[in-house]
Amino acid sequence: MGLRELFVQKDFVVTTEIPPPKGVNAASSLDIAKKILRRVDGINVTDNQRGIMRMCSLAFSHLLKEIGHNPIMQVCTRDRNRLALQSDILGAGALGIENICIMTGDHPKLGDHPDAKPVFDLDSIQLIKVIKELETGVCMSGKRLESSAKFFVGGVVNPFFEPFELELIKIKKKIDAGAEFFQTQPFFDKESLEKFLEEVRGLNTKFLIGISPIKSVKMINFLNEKVLTKKIPENISKRIETAENQTEEGIRIAAEFIREIKGMVRSIHIMPIGIESYLPYLLDEAGL
């Protein structure tokens, strides 16, 4: 069953994230995926996340699909022009990969190839529109395709962008372009989530609420300084800092939060940055 159908038929949808390996051997990543088979509804496959080069999301998505998972192929507009982007989308369709999550992507200077030239030929809204055109059998040049496929297209949203009115405009533009679901940056407190849900109430789309277990104080500092636009709450930082095992405490905190919000939302997206091997433990602790 596809992710689109699961959103309709399930009371609570759970997706997670496993990055492709930094090499050609995907055995260890696939072993993690096998341990959570039939426990999650989809696995998001990152596309050179934070500008760090890895195996392409298309190939790893295919490997996940072969073992029975429902991959969500991430596509960044940063690294490819419109020819390559359309080519990869068609390749996904040929391999039966229908879930596509579109984003612009971090600048290469932030990653492990800072001298790489960014492309940004299209932005995320434009690419969503292009995918919907490909579905009709027409490529961006206006020429007819010999065949195409249907896709379940999503985007990303930063609930903490200020002013949020500008982010809301982008969300609505993506919906108008054809986006049917969104993955959010991680939430760490119920109050922020309640505020976000109120601000997006009435929008005709699905939100996968981001959850990210914290593995260490070092990770807190990195997220606060380099990634998040809203800092991790102090009470969480203190729990991690004073814990005998910081990673396990971070898992417990994330599991507690999932149980707390389960009655508020219908779908979550777990981002276990650097601790993918703990996913079975987190799912157990959260009762999923």
- Cis amide leading into 163 (omega within 30): yes
Per-residue model confidence as pLDDT tens digits over 247-275: 999 999 999 999 999 999 999 999 998 89
Mean pLDDT of the chain: 94
Domains and CATH numbers, the chain: 3-286 (3.20.20.220)
Q: How much is the pLDDT for 96?
A: 96
Please state the pTM of the whole predicted model: 0.94
pLDDT at 147 over 90: yes
37 Cβ neighbours under 8 A, 6+ residues apart: 67, 68, 69
Per-residue model confidence as pLDDT tens digits over 71-130: 999 999 999 999 999 999 999 999 999 999 999 988 888 878 999 998 999 999 999 999
| Residue 174 and residue 203 in contact, taking contact as beta carbons nearer than 8 Å | no
In the chain, which ranges are continuous DSSP H helix?
Answer: 3-9, 27-35, 57-66, 82-94, 124-135, 164-177, 190-199, 217-222, 234-242, 246-261, 279-286
What is the helix (H) or strand (E) element at residue 270, kind and residue range? strand 267-270
| Closest CA relative to residue 180, chosen from 2, 4, 1, 35 | 4
Per-residue model confidence as pLDDT tens digits over 196-210: 999 999 999 999 999
| Strand, coil or helix: 55 | coil
